[in-house]
Amino acid sequence: MSVEIPVGRKASVKVPASSANLGPGFDTLGLALSLYDHVEVEVVESGLEVVVSGEGEGEVPLDERHLVVKALRAALKAADVTAPGLRVVCTNAIPQSRGMGSSASAAAAGVAAANGLADFALDNDTMVQLASTFEGHPDNAAASILGAGIVSWTNTPIDGRTAPQYFARRIEVHPDIKATAFIPDFHASTEAVRRVLPSDISHLDARFNVSRTAVMTVALRDDPSLLWEGTRDRMHQTYRAEVLPVTAEWVNRLRNLGYPAYLSGAGPTIMVLSTNPVERSLVEEAQGRGMKVLELDVAGPVTVEVSG
């Protein structure tokens, strides 16, 4: 029998943004970044109230369709608890549909809030599974939940009826590595950007990406001098260039100057992972072309504070 959470209990969540793929690790590698959404969930006597400010304000649904609410409901069910009513307040800083994991962060925030309200009944593996279900792949969601870098994978049952299983493990990141995000002033639909990918790639390209994904895990943990080599890709970025020409231009330009740049997630954000800052003149030029440029640290995991 489900336990009802008492009215007045609150969970305050701080959830990091994330960058996925990191070049070659398509739907596999992820990194948590020090840009945060804040979500407060309060148990009330009845009904549902959703308040959103910052990124996504006026654009996202304020009812059961909101992703934080969907994830919250799923995690409450998994923890076998109920709430008579909910007030959900989202203060968002993570840009929407820009390749910085805003959707995954919302799912992770909902799961984490529910876990806090349920006296932390869910372990990390369950939280990754629940949050990743809304994305269809675990790289962004797992990074927001676990923090630092992550390696993730998916097991898809062959019967076509059982739900996929999502897994991830944390990678500690070398303390000298910083991220610089070049965020263009337009959205990119993950679905639309995925449609340009081929159904098959060559054995040569597959071998290339397997090797560079392995290099990237070493670069992240132990040897940042390998970041440029570790961010090389032949699986997805070339194909996405046709629908993200501005992003492709800047990725190529930065890489030609020696910066370990790559398309962050489905874009359009360009991410640089490096131990040295990007030259100021390049930052100013990007800003002059309408981009927001953020210098970010590698972040820790989602945090939850519970009261009441």
Q: What φ, ψ does residue 152 adopt, rounded to 5°?
A: -130, 160
Residues 39 and 127 in one domain: yes
For 132-162, the pLDDT digits (tens) are 999 899 999 999 999 999 999 999 887 777 8
Tokens 């895990």 belong to 217
Confidence of residue 241 (pLDDT cuts 50, 70, 90): confident
Determine whether the annotation assigns residue 144 to a binding site.
no
% helix / strand / coil in the chain, to the nearest 5? 35, 30, 40
Determine whether the annotation assigns residue 100 to a binding site.
yes
Confidence of residue 67 (pLDDT cuts 50, 70, 90): very high
Asked whether the bond before 95 is cis by omega within 30 degrees of 0, the reply is no
Ramachandran class of 42: left when φ > 0, alpha when ψ lies in -120 to 50, beta otherwise: beta
Instruction: Please tell me the distance from the alpha carbon of residue 288 to that of residue 86, in angstroms, as a whole number.
Output: 43
Determine whether the annotation assigns residue 291 to a binding site.
no
Share of the chain above pLDDT 70, in %: 97
CATH of the domain at 7: 3.30.230.10
Determine whether the annotation assigns residue 103 to a binding site.
yes
**What pLDDT does residue 42 have?**
98
Instruction: Please tell me the distance from the alpha carbon of residue 78 to that of residue 97, in angstroms, as a whole number.
Output: 28
Residues 75 and 127 in one domain: yes
Instruction: Please tell me the distance from the alpha carbon of residue 234 to that of residue 159, in angstroms, as a whole number.
Output: 31
Residues 209 and 65 in one domain: no
pTM confidence score: 0.94
Residues 39 and 73 in one domain: yes
Instruction: Please tell me the distance from the alpha carbon of residue 5 to that of residue 260, in angstroms, as a whole number.
Output: 47
Question: Residue 1 pLDDT > 80, yes or no?
Answer: no
Q: Which domain holds residue 276?
A: 178-297
Determine whether the annotation assigns residue 95 to a binding site.
yes
Determine whether the annotation assigns residue 288 to a binding site.
no
- In sequence order, what are the residues at sequence separation of 6 or more whose Cβ sits closer than 8 angstroms to the Cβ of residue 122? 75, 78, 79, 111, 114, 115, 130
Determine whether the annotation assigns residue 287 to a binding site.
no
Determine whether the annotation assigns residue 195 to a binding site.
no
Query: Total structural domains in the chain?
Result: 2
Instruction: Please tell me the distance from the alpha carbon of residue 301 to that of residue 14, in angstroms, as a whole number.
Output: 9
Residues 55 and 117 in one domain: yes
Determine whether the annotation assigns residue 147 to a binding site.
no
